[in-house]
Every structure is written in C-alpha cells, then in structure tokens.
Amino acid sequence: MSKELDLQNLEPVIISLGSHPGIIQSMLDYNYCLGHSAPNLVAIVSAGRKQERFFWGHDEIMVPVYAKLAKVPEQLRQQATGLLNVQSARRVLASMTETFELLPNLQVANIFAEQVPEVHALQVAALAEQHDVLVAGPASVGLLVPGVMKLGAIGGTQYPQLVAANIFSGGDTAVISTSGGMVNELIHTVTGAGLGVSFALALGGDRNPITTPAQAFLLAESDQRTRQIVYFGELGGDDEYILADLMKSGKVTKPVIAYIAGTVAGLFDQPPQFGHAKAMAANQSESAQAKKEALRTAGAKVMDVFGELATDLSAQAETGSHQAKPHRPIKQRSKAMIVSRISGDINGGVHLLGKELLSVVNENSLAGLDISLLLGQQITSPKVIEFSDYILRLLADHGPYVSGAVNTIVAARAGKDLASSLTAGLLTIGPRFGGAVNAAADAWLEGAGSDTEPKAFVAGFTANGGIIPGIGHKKYRIDTPDPRVKALTEQFSNNSNGDRYLKFAQGVEAVTTSKKANLILNVDGTIAAMLLDILESELDYSPDKLRELVDIEFFNAIFILSRSAGLMAHYLDQRRHDEGLLRLGEDDITYIPS
C-alpha cells in the first residue's frame, strides 16, 4: 500500500477491468453529483462490445470498451490512477499482474470478486506492495473519499442511496471495515450522527485481504482530514492484536471506536464459520471477546452492542458539525432506444455530424458528405474526398451482365416498384459480387500488418483451397489489364507515404499471375488496398481502427452506395422500355433429368 498516498488530493482517472453496469453507473452518478465536468471513468476492458452506454446526469454517454488492457490508448494508461476490477476470481491474479505492468501511475484499486485463491491473493499483495498501490479487496465493495472519488459499490449503487448516505462532502471520521455490507452501515451511522466521513475503506471479506487493517489504520493516521477512526472487525485471525500494538507504540495516535462482531460464537460448543472466509475463531485468542479486550487495553473505545456506536458518535457531534453539501441532483431518466452519432434534432433543428444541417450541406460536396457519413466524422482531407469521389463514380455501373443488375432488371420487368427492384439487386451483393472490396481489405490488412511475405500469403490460401479476395477477373488478364485499376494507381498512388497495403497487394499479384494470367489484382482489391493506405496516411487511422472498419463492412458500404445509382438507372431504363415480364426461353435452360 502506498505510504505517501494523499487520498484527499487524489486526481482519479479510472479504468474498469470487466463491466458491472450497476457499479459503474453509481460511480458516474457520484462523479456527476459532485459537479465535475466529465466522468473520471475513462475506459472499460471487456469482450464483445466497442462501447457501453451510461448516463452522465440526464444525458447518455458512451464509454469506450477495449478487448484488452494493452489495447487501451497509451495516454489513458499513463493517466490512470484508479482501477475497478470486477472480473472473476480466477482471473484476478493475471489481470492484476498485467495492471501493475501497464498502469505505471496507478494509486488505488478495488477487487470486487470474492473467493480469490489464497495463493493468488498473497501474490497480488506482494505486487501491490512492490508497486506502492492501495488495493481494496478481494471481496471488497471499494473505497470512498467524499468529495473526491467513489471507487466500487461502496456507498450504494442507486442515486437515492448516495443521497441518503450524505457522502458528497468530507468529514473527519475514517471508516474501516472488514465487511462490505457493514461499511455502508457505518457510513450511515457516522453521517446520521451529524459527523462526516474522511474516507471509507472496505478491506474485503476473503481470508487474505490485500490491504490489512494495520495498513488502513496507518493510512488514517497520516490522513490530514481524519480526526478519529471507526472500525468494524470480526472474530478470527490476529489483526486486532496488531492494531493494539500500533496504538500502544504510538504509531496510531488518533482515537479509535471499534466494534468486533462474533461474540455469539462463544455460545457454541464448536467454533462456527461466519459469512467471511476469515471469520472463525480457531482458539480463544481469536474470539471476538478476546479481541475487544486487547483493543480496550490499548486505548480504543470498544462497543459491546453495535447500537452503542451511533449513540457515542451522536454524543460527540456538535450541532451543525457536518452539513450536507448541496449536490447536482439527478431526476428520473430513461435510456433511449437508439444512439446516433450521425444526425438528430437539437432544439427543433436537424443536425448532421455535430453541425446544423444546412451548414454541413453548404460546406461539403456530395462525395465529401458521403464519406463523412460513412466514417462517422467530418472529413476535410482533400485526398480522401477526391479519392472517394472517384471510386463512387468508378463503381456506379459495370454493365447489365452482373447479378445485381440482372436481378434489378428482372424485378423491374415483373412490375415491381423501385425500392423492391433495387433491393432485389442489392441482395445479390456478397462474396461473388461486390463484397470482395471488404474481403480484400481484410486480407491486405492481415497480410501487410503481420509482415507476411506475399508468396507465403498466397501459399496459405492455396493450401486451404481458398480464393484470394481482390485477385482475379473473368475478362482482364496481365497482358490486357483492367483500365480502372490503371487509372486508380496513376492518379492516387501514395508513394511518399509508403503505399504498404497497395505494395503488398501488388506483391500478391506478382505471385498469382505467375501461375495464371487472369489472376490479376482487380478493381475491388485495388480500391481496398488504396483506401487502407489513404485512411492510414491522411486520417492517421491505426491498424485497430482499420480493423474496425473491416468488421463493420465499411468497404462494402462504398460499393453499395455507388452501385445503387447504377441499379436504379437500370430499373428506370427498363420501366421506360416497358417490355413486360422477362421470361427465359427453352434454349436458355439445359434440362438434365436425374
């Protein structure tokens, strides 16, 4: 535990390992009620999602989610001073080991899971001491520093509970408890008596808490706001004897008011096991009564009945000694069905990409607006907009022979409406038509990103009998290249910035065309490679961000957006001709009886 930790001046920047919506929302609510301008929880490490929705007051916000702690941006990891760990008990050792390595400025942490293997808890304790970090847990509801930070479920998980606890302003009484449930009871007891809490710490109910009661007492002793300590302990172990020695030696000089639970165990013939792993007296010295006497001898005020604690605190409290601090209130709220970063109404006016609609329209070309909408942010790079404009025009149509056009034409001649006919054409887009742009982007990103040699890359596909997306054409060959590919590379190559994805794709083409002349880099593969290069060089997209674009089919969206114009053109063309239903003749089908 940090020997120099200043809880009252801690600047919390918190990362959560795992997601526990109730606990996280309560931390955000506390943060908001204090009047802070932004949440102090900056990231969640969890699988499955890229972000999670929470309330910041009455507004909904998105907290970024990362699959691994190492994926959290370096800047956030450097800033992080607090950690909430709500992962399972079996993952605590591995996750905390990684945490100490990747969060160099970590000061406080809360481990929520209970029944962490004892050997793991001891290893985490050694690491915490080595890295000088205060860790509440395992099996802890966390740490509360009124007016500064709520880390964990401590103080309540609902807004009304936070208000009832009166914990928005600090006082002079430190609350230290081995029990998570009792720490909240003690907080209410202290504030209900007219006093205030300087900090509250739930040590944790497992057999080997990372922070010991002795360490917590020394923290309270050094805390400038703390005048006295209220302590809840239990039968079992020898912690209270260590506390008594600290008081006798003068290392703890502040008044201590204590209650030790488990006196009833003396009524049983065999020592019973209470709710916490450590709460069982193996001998007389570990009994609650013996511990009470040890603390009394050392100078602590020890209560025999828990209710006496409230009476004693009320008696020492001066009228008005702790006034409830006004807080920013939270009224009734409900989650929206949909979150959009693209558009919405603000004060009755339509906004697009964060600005008023007409200003966005006036500031953008069609291609600029389209690529901005697809990327979810206003794009100002002339090269990105120019390239987008070119490929949108380039892909608009490629004749009535492809499946999308054929389906659209068939539906149009069957008398279907525009939307139905367009949909019929779009539904044919997939791995054999149109969908190769996204698949090729996936392949180039993986190949170039892992520094795979093109020859090995091709061999991997060949061994699995797969077709390399973005490679091959029925009409064009190495000696009769696709003019669209030539136009793209001549106008938009990015040699000054490396063109690493395009060069990788061209390296693959060199291998495949040596085997067969028509296994060329086609227009889909070229667009995919060049888009990766341009997004990386012009917009600083990282490999992870490019991977996200692949995963959400951004590259297919480019093709669908462009080709929709061509498909609608074919629909309108057929309606103008009005030739009636298209029916295949006998010569168009070869019937082979089974």
Looking at residue 280, its pLDDT comes to: 44
Highest averaged pLDDT of the listed ranges 168-182, 283-297, 316-330, 487-501: 168-182
Cα 149 → chain centroid: 20
Give the β-pairing of 197-202 and 143-145: antiparallel
Residues 278-297 as b/e (b if ≥16 CB within 10 A, e otherwise) read bbbbeeeebbbbbbbebbee
Please spell the DSSP secondary structure of 156-213, one letter per residue: -SSHHHHHHHT-SS--SEEEEES-HHHHHHHHHHHHHTT--EEEEEE--SSSS-SS-H
For the chain, which residues make up each domain, given as ranges?
Answer: 7-316, 345-380, 394-577
Instruction: Look at residue 137 and tell me whether its pLDDT is greater than 80.
Output: yes
Unique residue bearing structure tokens 């932004």: 38
CA distances for 401 relative to 116, 398, 573, 585, angstroms: 64, 8, 15, 18
pLDDT over 50 at 151, yes or no: yes
Q: Work out the average pLDDT over 226-247.
A: 89
Confidence of residue 365 (pLDDT cuts 50, 70, 90): very high
pLDDT (average), residues 146-153 = 96
**Cα 76–78–79 angle (5° rounding)?**
65
**Neighbouring residues of 106: CB distance < 8 A, sequence distance ≥ 6:** 80, 81, 82, 83, 99, 100, 131, 133
Distance CA 557, CA 500 (A): 23
Radius of gyration over alpha carbons of the chain, in Å?
Answer: 33
- Contact between 524 and 505 under an 8 Å Cβ cutoff? The reply is no
Q: Does residue 277 carry a pLDDT above 70?
A: no
- The residue-averaged pLDDT of 283-292 equals 72
> How high is the pLDDT of residue 49?
86
Residue 302 has pLDDT above 90, yes or no: yes
Asked if residue 178 has pLDDT above 70, the reply is: yes
- What is the pLDDT at residue 427? 96
Which of the residues 276, 322, 473, 570 is marked catalytic?
A: 276
Q: Six-digit token pair at 34?
A: 């204090």
28 closest CA partner among 4, 61, 1 = 61
The CATH fold assigned to 7-316 is Rossmann fold (3.40.50)
Average pLDDT over residues 382-402: 94
pLDDT at 281: 43
Is the Cβ–Cβ distance between 489 and 495 less than 8 Å? no
Best CA proximity match to 499, nearest among 383, 368, 396: 383
pLDDT tops 50 at residue 192: yes
Assess whether pLDDT exceeds 50 at residue 282: no
Beta-bridge partners for 54:
61
Q: Which pLDDT score, from 0 to 100, does residue 261 have?
A: 81
Residue 261 token pair: 């639970």
Q: Which one has a higher pLDDT value, 492 or 217? A: 217
Q: Which one-letter DSSP state was computed for residue 57?
A: T
Residue 188 among the catalytic residues: no
Query: What pLDDT, in 10s, does the model give residues 47-62?
Result: 988 899 999 999 999 9
Contacts of 476 (CB under 8 A, 6+ apart): 482, 518, 520, 522
81 and 10 in contact (C-beta within 8 Å)? Answer: yes
Mean pLDDT, rounded, for 362-376: 96
Token digits for 33? 């009620």
Mean pLDDT calculated for residue range 330-354: 90
Chain position carrying tokens 């079992």: 236
CA 46 to centroid of chain Cα atoms = 6
pLDDT at 463: 81
CB 459 within 8 A of CB 511: no
Residue 307: band (very low, low, confident or very high) from pLDDT cuts 50, 70, 90? confident
Cα(291)–Cα(300) distance, integer angstroms: 11
- Per-residue burial over 429-444, b if 16 or more Cβ lie within 10 Å, else e, is beeebbbbbbbbbbbb
Answer for the pair 213, 242: CB distance below 8 angstroms, yes or no: yes
Q: What is the 3-state secondary structure (H, E, C) of 359-383?
A: HHHHHCCHHHHHHHHHHCCCCCCHH
pLDDT at 286 over 70: no
* pLDDT tier, 287 (very low <50, low <70, confident <90, very high otherwise): confident
Judged by average pLDDT, the poorest of 256-265, 434-443, 479-488 is 256-265
Residue 140 has pLDDT above 60, yes or no: yes
Residue 40 scores a pLDDT above 50: yes
Residue 264: the pLDDT is 46
Residue 314: predicted pLDDT: 86
Respond yes or no on whether the N-terminal peptide bond of residue 138 is cis (omega within 30° of 0).
Answer: yes
CA distance 475 to 314: 90
According to the model, what pLDDT value does residue 523 have?
92
Least confident among 119-128, 302-311, 398-407, 460-469: 460-469
Give the span between the Cα atoms of 486 and 289, in whole angstroms: 89
Q: pLDDT averaged over the chain?
A: 91
Q: Quick check: 143 and 180 in contact, CB under 8 A?
A: no
For position 233, what pLDDT does the model report? Answer: 86
Q: What is the pLDDT of residue 13?
A: 98
Query: What confidence tens digit (pLDDT) does each residue in 464-476 have?
Result: 777 899 999 888 8
What end-to-end distance do the CA atoms of the chain give, in Å?
80
Residue 495: the pLDDT is 58
Print burial letters for 236-267: b (CB count within 10 Å at least 16), e (below 16): bbebbbebbebbeeeebebebbbbbbbeebee
Among 501, 498, 523, smallest CA distance to 447 is for: 501
Least confident of 115-129, 220-234, 457-471: 457-471
pLDDT value for 267: 45
Look at residue 288 and tell me whether its pLDDT is greater than 90. Answer: no
Q: What pLDDT, on the 0 to 100 scale, is given for residue 430?
A: 87
Between these two residues, 94 and 233, which has the higher pLDDT value?
Answer: 94
pLDDT score at 318: 62
pLDDT in tens, 98-128: 999 999 999 999 999 999 999 999 999 999 9
Mean predicted confidence (pLDDT) in 573-593: 92
Residue 325 has pLDDT above 50, yes or no: yes
Which pLDDT score, from 0 to 100, does residue 494 have? Answer: 66
CB 13 within 8 A of CB 143: no
pLDDT at 209: 92
**pLDDT at residue 379 is higher than 80:** yes
Residue 428 has pLDDT above 90, yes or no: yes
**pLDDT tens-digit series, residues 505-537:** 999 999 999 999 999 999 999 999 999 999 999
